Structure 1
Amino acid sequence: MGAMRARRPQGRHRRAEDQATYGEVIAIREFRALWYAQGLSLLGDQLAQVALAVLVYDRTRSPLATAAVYALTYLPSIVGGPLLAGLADRFARRGVMLTCDLVRAALVAAMAVPGMPFWALCGLVFLVVLLSAPFSAARAALLPEVLEGDRYVIGSALQNMTNQAVQMLGFAAGGALIATMGPYRALALDAATFLGSALILLSGVRRRPAASHDGAKPSMWTMTRAGARLVFGSRKLRTLVLFAWLAGFYILPEGIAVPYAARLADGALPVPVITGLLMAAMPTGTVVGAFLFSRFVAPPRRLRLMGWMAMLSCAPLIVTVLRPPLEVVLAAWVLSGIGGAYQLAANAAFVQYVPDERRAQAFGLVQSGLMAAQGIGILVGGFAAERLGPEPVVALAGVAGLTCAAVLAMIWTEPRERVPAAA
């Protein structure tokens, strides 16, 4: 459990502490395919997410209802992560990703049918997000096979920056696009992005056998229990998982961005535009933070800064208790996004301790908890915002997150010294 799994060398031999460059990572064809496919499908998802949030708030004027629909894009992973992520260890990972893309394209195409009942729309959203668990687990488990050493960190940073940039673009432009093209066309575009992702993966990622080579494959329940013992049986892994789940605090503001925008609207900008700006602020900060953290911080120092960066991801949110203007709120949320770059170090350290044949299950469990923490946090935030207003709720999330981050930073002080330098 604690020992690192030996990996096959790729290209010239590199020491774990050598710092990779973006150029050499982008030059790897399989990484480019994974990178392009994820960015393409994510762009369509952001348009659909903004459309659903604005639509629900326009109908209900309820922060709780808006947060509930937004949380619906997180909560299915509570089930999908533990039970379905193991499929990427039982079967070929590329095949799992292709199957998930094709099925999700069909489901989202059904969502784009005009006149679809709202309850059916919510059910389809649930299924689409449910299938994201095995897809994400397969992609996360495949990436260390494509990239090794610090290339993995740089590749993760590049994917993270791209994902956040796509979110920033999708959220910022989403309001304007929804106003012109309508929600159903946005959903049709989302379906097309899943098909595009499948084509890229089919042409750019080579076939590999399933990671588990046992003749008799264990049941999904058996794999889930084994994965839980692996992840939570180690102090190092437990701490890294809790660092990842800390995102539940600083993601909460996105779930109440629409009612927050309604509070900030002064007639100069419409609510959908302010909503897009708010939802784009943290992804913007994460792009900046991921670039600076991966490019200018040497591998051995990343883990030493992880606790401080985690605290930075939550502390700026506290300023919202003063009910500042839009400009200050955006600056605070951007700064919070910069702090969120600590996830790069936590993710890279985590992958060093999980063997290849258990990696997808382990990532699925962590992702499940992460999505659950975010979804539950958003639901609680929406419930509280109806009673207290969005500003104090965001500030309370910042205080709670800062406290948890400080405790985790102290817990991490001792085991960090034995974490591989590649993290």
Structure 2
Amino acid sequence: MPPVEPTGYTRVFAVREFRTVFAAHACSLLGVVVSEISLTVLVYGLTGSPLLSSLTFALGMLPYLIGGTLLSGVADRFPPRRVLVVCDLLCAGCAALMALPATPVAALLALRAVIALVAPVFNGTRMATLTDVLGDGDLFVLGRSLLRIVSQSSVLVGFGLGGVLLTFVPPRGALVITVCTFLLSAVLLRYGTRRRPARAGEGGGTLLRYSLGGLRQVLAERRVRALLLLFWVPPMFLVAPEVLAAPYADEIGIGVAGVGLLMCALPVGTIAAELYAGSALSAAARGRIVLPLAALTLLPLTVYALTPGLVWAVVALALAGAGSAYTLGLDRWFVDAVPEELRGRAMTVHSAGLMTIQGTGMALAGLAAEFYAVSTVVAAAGVLGTLCCLLLVVEVRRTATDSAPAAREQTPEFRDGADQHVTDG
């Protein structure tokens, strides 16, 4: 009897090096979640200031833009394993300094900002390294999907586990656990992944000039620019119902448990849809659903115009989250569109832009809710976001049509239409 060939996500876990990257990702993500909760509680306990306490979360997002633009060249200019290990060690060092009893509040916030500054470089380098570990075909898409699923799952369970942890361990003690998770991630990456050369040489002037030059190259390419915007724009609008979950629960008169359900609905929909698309659909099928799903993913939010109760709101949010499965096929298009020597910088820009634009969406949703009912704000996000996505879908389709002759020469499986530019890896 012939051996059973692994299918779906099983194929990805069959790659030993990916198993190491996956485990390291889970460790470092656990460290980030624990540090965010611990630092928030610690800063509030030291100052009694809700503003400074909430600033710890803001500092987890704002430096992404700086790190993703000024430091993106690190991902291509140095050997990837070295970059990943150094980033983990730097984060471990910052967490260790946070755990010291004498560290003042200003230093705690500064150290939090440093970790956030390093994050896009680490994430971009890891994304680019996945193409070395898994190739740039279907295995890469499934590997990226698994890492996203772990990140989404942390939203569901991470903060709850962190809260339980803090009932037994003081905040600075919990930060020691963060140090250990970053160190474990560094050890896994150092001894569980292969040493690979840098993607680009040492030329190109200073790191700053090299990084900004890569940013210009990434954004100057029409196809790459359109794909990046399709990654970024839907999440910018999707954060509105999450960040306004508590005010909406108050608006429709439900309790704290309802707030939890509203906040969980999006990630649950996302995880379920990604698992289905990754395990049940072929690479070509995932390519075909990219543009339809991207165009419609925000449409369920328009039900908020009717001020729905808890059940219908949860259903709408789960459907909106499920639309995020379009990113599986989009990942493949993005890798195909970016030259290998630019891949690390492009992935870093992608990571930084995604976090920055979500932070912008949160701020804008909160500002709008100061003047309008939450239901109106979320419904407006659904309408405006859908219009933006439709325009982007048209642009992505046009860029694929413009490059179709070259694509046909390189890939015999290419079929007419932008949504067919995906083949089995």
Q: TM-score range by the shorter chain?
A: 0.7 to 0.9
The amino acid across from 1:23 in the alignment is: T
Tell me, yes or no, if structure 1 residue 190 matches structure 2 residue 185. Answer: no
Tell me: CA distance 1:120–1:196, structure 2 relative to 1, closer, same or farther (3 Å).
same
Across the aligned residues of Structure 1 and Structure 2, the Cα RMSD in angstroms comes to: 3.2
Matched-pair contact (CA < 8 Å) for 1:261–1:274 = yes
Give the match's secondary structure for 2:297: helix
User: Paired residue for 1:14?
Assistant: none
Match of 1:159 in 2: 147
* 1:306 to 2:290 alignment: yes
Cα distance in 2 for residues equivalent to 1:256 and 1:115? 36
2-side partners of 1:186 and 1:321: how far apart?
43
Deviations 1:204-254 (A, max 9, x none): 111112222x35353223323432343223322121111011122113444
Return the offset for 1:378.
Answer: 1.4
Q: How far apart, CA to CA, are the structure 1 residues paired with 2:21 and 2:278?
A: 19
TM-score w.r.t. the length of structure 1 is: 0.83
Contact 2:87/2:122, CA 8 A, preserved across alignment = yes
- Distance in 1 separating the partners of 2:30 and 2:147: 13
**1:113–1:322 distance in 2 versus 1, CA, 3 Å:** farther
The superposition leaves residues 99-150 of structure 1 with CA deviations (integer Å, 9 ceiling, x where unpaired) of 1111111212333445855443332221111011211111011000111221
**2:343 maps to which residue?**
359
Percent sequence identity over aligned pairs: 36
Give the CA deviation at 1:31.
Answer: 0.6
Structure 1 SS opposite 2:205: coil
The answer to whether 1:208 aligns with 2:192 is: no
Q: Residue type matched to 2:196 in 1?
A: R
Does the CA contact (< 8 Å) of 1:20 and 1:154 recur in 2?
no
Alignment gaps of 5+ in structure 1:
1-18
Name the aligned partner's letter for residue 368 of structure 2.
Answer: A
Task: Within 5 Å, give how 1:21-40 maps onto structure 2.
Answer: 21-40=8-27
**Does residue 333 of the first structure (1) align with residue 343 of the second (2)?**
no
TM-fit CA distance, 1:340 = 1.1
Q: 1:407: how far off?
A: 1.6
The alpha-carbon deviation at position 264 of structure 1 amounts to: 6.8
Aligned to 1:10: none
In structure 2, the residue matched to 1:84 is 71
2:8 aligned partner, one-letter code: T
Aligned pair partner of 2:238 in 241, 250, 261: 250
Instruction: Please tell me whether Structure 1 or Structure 2 has the larger radius of gyration of its CA atoms.
Output: 2
Greater RCO (Cα-Cα under 8 Å, separation 6 or more): 1
Checking the alignment, whether the CA contact within 8 Å between 1:66 and 1:256 is kept in structure 2 is no
Partners of 1:231 and 1:238 within 8 A in 2: yes
Would the aligned equivalents of 1:90 and 1:210 in 2 still touch at CA under 8 Å?
Answer: yes
Deviation at 1:373, TM superposition (A): 0.7
Distance 2:283 2:300 in 1: 26
Shift of 1:193: 1.7
For residues 227 and 236 of structure 2, the distance between their equivalents in structure 1, rounded to whole angstroms, comes to 14
Q: Quick check: 1:43–1:167 contact (8 Å CA) kept in 2?
A: no
Mapping for residues 328-407 of structure 1, pairs under 5 Å: 328-388=312-372, 390-407=374-391
In structure 1, distance between residues paired with 2:39 and 2:374: 19
Number of the residue aligned with 1:130:
117
CA contact (8 A) 1:171 1:279 kept: no
Q: Which of these residues, 292, 295, 317, is aligned with residue 301 of structure 2?
A: 317
Gaps of 5+ in 2: 1-5, 401-417
Distance 2:226 2:55 in 1: 29
Correspondent of 1:99 among 86, 94, 112: 86
Q: Retained in 2: the 8 A contact 1:67–1:379?
A: no
1:356, CA displacement in angstroms? 2.2
Aligned mates of 1:132, 1:144 — CA distance in 2: 19
Shift in alpha-carbon separation, 1:320–1:215, aligned structure 2, 3 A? closer
Offset of residue 80 of structure 1: 0.3
Q: 1:78 to 1:331 in 2, by over 3 A?
A: same
SS in 1 for 2:298: helix
Aligned amino acid, residue 356 of structure 2: A
Q: Tell which deviates more after alignment, 138-147 or 281-290.
A: 281-290
Distance across 1 between alignment mates of 2:420 and 2:219:
18
Give the distance between the partners of 1:333 and 1:61, measured in 2 at CA.
Answer: 29
CA distance in 2, matches of 1:207, 1:287: 32
Q: Alignment partner of 1:111: what SS?
A: helix
The 1-side partners of 2:172 and 2:101 are apart by 7
Matched, 1:237 2:198: no
Q: For 1:117 and 1:400, locate their aligned partners in 2 and report how far apart those are by CA, in whole Å.
A: 43
Q: 1:383 to 1:48 in 2, by over 3 A?
A: farther
The code of the aligned residue for 2:341 comes to: E
**Structure 1 counterpart of 2:279, one-letter code:** R
Is the alpha carbon distance of 1:283 and 1:53 closer, same or farther for their aligned partners in structure 2, counting shifts above 3 Å? farther
Greater shift, 182-191 or 196-205, is seen at 182-191
